[in-house]
Amino acid sequence: MKKLLYLLPIFVLSACSNHSVKNSQKISLSDSKQVKYEQSLQNWKDKTEEQLIKKWGNPTKTTVSGNKKYLLYKKEDIFSVNGSSYNLYCNTTFTIKNGIVADWKYKGNNCDKATYVVE
């Protein structure tokens, strides 16, 4: 059991790599969770804002600029192991144009398909 407790910080730190991705970027991610999250976000393109909010709930923050609306969803988890605190987060922003999801981007070290319910 002690060996497992010593390994836990290694796993936690490896999960703390920070990813920042925009829909239009072409990158290669080895982390399959990140790839799956990107695929799930891509599935929201061309869906309505209403459909998105029905599944994801109300956004943390909404910003309007010109003819675009930005819906920000934030997720944050803080936990402690042996007196050390770890902050896991995921900020996902959808760009809405004419009521339709036109783009997306996310940033965080805890973004995966399980973060939110998506189609």
Nearest by Cα to 112 from 21, 7, 24, 8:
21
pLDDT at 28 over 90: no
Q: Between 38 and 4, whose confidence is greater?
A: 38
Separation in Å, CA 42 to CA 15, 17, 45, 71, 95: 23, 22, 6, 15, 12
pLDDT of residue 36: 85
52-56, 75-79, 114-118: the lowest-pLDDT one:
114-118
pLDDT of residue 45: 97
Q: Which domains does the chain have, with CATH numbers?
A: 2-16+31-115 (3.30.1450)
Nearest by Cα to 106 from 50, 42, 46, 54:
42
Strands 61-65 and 100-108: unpaired
What span, in angstroms and rounded, lies between the C-alpha atoms of 41 and 112? 10
